[in-house]
């Protein structure tokens, strides 16, 4: 895989100001020391953030945690063990295991807070989906500050995982291949995407997904940028590839339409997003999506 220059930063859900403090997770005494008066508890409504009228995250004290909640150690903010504040989230009984993206939060939160929320949401969601052991079916309990669950039956340990997803633009003769799913807003087109399957490299996943969805063979896969996507817990791996044959065969079970767009059409679509409008040819992905970053990177790279 060819590596390109980094994409513009920040990317939504990246760049959290919270130090994950891996060295603290396995030390119950150190975590307890961070649970003092300055510790902060992220307030969530299910999996959605609770925000102030100004569009900032709401943090409570640990004294406001529910008695039956599992506390998750998110990390340390503002310093190390001596001067930093411990940051926590809680897993409550009956919390939803997944949910739709929090579009309001993505539009309102500043980048650092959005990243802090995204990491917490993914972790809380994982815990809500792993209360029972996948090996023997017995109940699991929290361990390592919330970065592990251990089985009370067979003793198996389970760790938070992310699902890798390739999302890619494809270029041919100065045009870009984009598609739309039926669930997209009207006129919206975006980069093709799909989960990496067992036994695949990223390059192989890009080639397979593009061929399956659009019938296009690709080559020369480049990595562009990645994005954590906590719905529920994916890592979007943004790539770019080239095609020699522009013929399209759409998988209509996956996509409603697939088209080639010129650079001028992509420029117009990106400019329209900036002012809250739809481009003349199509509507580009919103700015918080890595697909938007891929389009912008391709446009700015030039012919």
**Residue 253 confidence (pLDDT):** 95
Inform me whether the pLDDT recorded for 9 exceeds 80. no
Q: For residue 88, what pLDDT band results from cuts at 50, 70 and 90?
A: very high
Question: Is 209 within 8 Å of 192 (Cβ atoms)?
Answer: yes
**Residue 96 confidence (pLDDT):** 77
Mean per-residue pLDDT, 101-112: 88
Identify whether 263 is part of a domain: yes
- Residue-wise pLDDT tens digits, 190-249: 999 999 999 999 999 999 999 999 999 999 999 999 999 999 999 999 999 999 999 999
Inform me whether the pLDDT recorded for 7 exceeds 60. no
- Which of these, 138, 303, 126, 136, lies nearest to 231 by C-alpha position? 126
Identify whether 148 is part of a domain: no
Identify whether 45 is part of a domain: yes
Mean per-residue pLDDT, 65-75: 96
- The CA distance from 167 to 3, in Å, is 15
Inform me whether the pLDDT recorded for 100 exceeds 80. no
Identify whether 175 is part of a domain: yes
- Which of these, 128, 129, 17, lies nearest to 75 by C-alpha position? 17
Identify whether 4 is part of a domain: no
End residue of a domain, out of 129, 149, 183: 129
End residue of a domain, out of 82, 114, 129: 129
- Tell me which residue range forms the domain holding 44: 22-129
- Residue-wise pLDDT tens digits, 130-164: 999 999 999 999 999 999 999 999 999 999 999 99
Inform me whether the pLDDT recorded for 91 exceeds 80. yes
Inform me whether the pLDDT recorded for 286 exceeds 90. yes
Say yes or no: 276 and 172 in one domain.
Answer: yes
Q: What is the mean pLDDT of the chain?
A: 93
C-alpha distances (whole Å) from 115 to each of 111, 185, 238 are: 6, 25, 18
Say yes or no: 200 and 110 in one domain.
Answer: no
- The CA distance from 168 to 207, in Å, is 10
Say yes or no: 125 and 214 in one domain.
Answer: no
**Residue 5 confidence (pLDDT):** 54
Say yes or no: 71 and 172 in one domain.
Answer: no
- Residue-wise pLDDT tens digits, 14-61: 999 999 999 999 999 999 999 999 999 999 999 999 999 999 999 999
Q: What is the count of structural domains for the chain? A: 2
Which CATH number is 195's domain given?
3.90.79.10
Say yes or no: 71 and 182 in one domain.
Answer: no
Say yes or no: 196 and 278 in one domain.
Answer: yes
**Residue 246 confidence (pLDDT):** 98
- Which of these, 267, 298, 299, 297, lies nearest to 284 by C-alpha position? 267
Residue percentage of the chain with pLDDT more than 70: 96
C-alpha distances (whole Å) from 251 to each of 54, 189, 212, 215, 256 are: 44, 15, 7, 8, 8
Identify whether 286 is part of a domain: yes
Say yes or no: 68 and 120 in one domain.
Answer: yes
Q: For residue 78, what pLDDT band results from cuts at 50, 70 and 90?
A: confident
- Residue-wise pLDDT tens digits, 183-195: 999 999 999 999 9
Say yes or no: 88 and 213 in one domain.
Answer: no
Say yes or no: 170 and 293 in one domain.
Answer: yes
End residue of a domain, out of 111, 129, 147: 129
Question: Is 59 within 8 Å of 109 (Cβ atoms)?
Answer: no
């Amino acid at each position: 895989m060819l590596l390109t220059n980094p994409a513009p930063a920040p990317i939504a859900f990246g760049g959290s100001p919270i130090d994950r403090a891996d060295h603290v997770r396995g030390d119950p005494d150190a975590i307890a020391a961070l649970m003092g008066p300055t510790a902060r508890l992220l307030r969530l409504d299910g999996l959605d953030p609770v925000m102030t009228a100004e569009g900032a995250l709401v943090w409570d004290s640990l004294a406001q945690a529910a008695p039956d909640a599992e506390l998750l150690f998110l990390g340390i903010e503002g310093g190390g063990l001596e001067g930093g504040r411990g940051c926590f989230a809680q897993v409550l009984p009956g919390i939803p295991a997944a949910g739709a993206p929090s579009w309001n939060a993505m539009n309102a939160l500043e980048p650092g807070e959005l990243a802090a929320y995204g990491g917490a949401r993914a972790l809380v969601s994982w815990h809500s989906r792993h209360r029972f052991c996948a090996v023997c079916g017995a109940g699991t309990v929290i361990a390592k500050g919330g970065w592990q669950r251990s089985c009370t039956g067979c003793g198996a340990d389970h760790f938070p995982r992310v699902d890798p997803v390739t999302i890619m633009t494809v270029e041919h003769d100065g045009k870009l291949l984009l598609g739309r799913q039926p669930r997209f807003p009207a006129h919206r087109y975006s980069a093709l995407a799909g989960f990496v399957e067992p036994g695949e490299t990223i390059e192989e996943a890009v080639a397979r997904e593009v061929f399956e969805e659009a019938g296009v063979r690709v080559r020369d896969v480049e990595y562009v940028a990645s994005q954590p996507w906590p719905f529920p817990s994916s890592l979007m791996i943004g790539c770019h590839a080239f095609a020699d044959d522009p013929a399209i065969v759409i998988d209509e079970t996956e996509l409603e339409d697939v088209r080639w767009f010129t650079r001028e059409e992509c420029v117009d679509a990106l400019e329209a997003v900036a002012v809250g409008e739809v481009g003349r040819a199509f509507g580009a992905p919103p700015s918080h999506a890595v697909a938007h970053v891929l389009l912008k990177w391709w446009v700015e790279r030039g012919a």
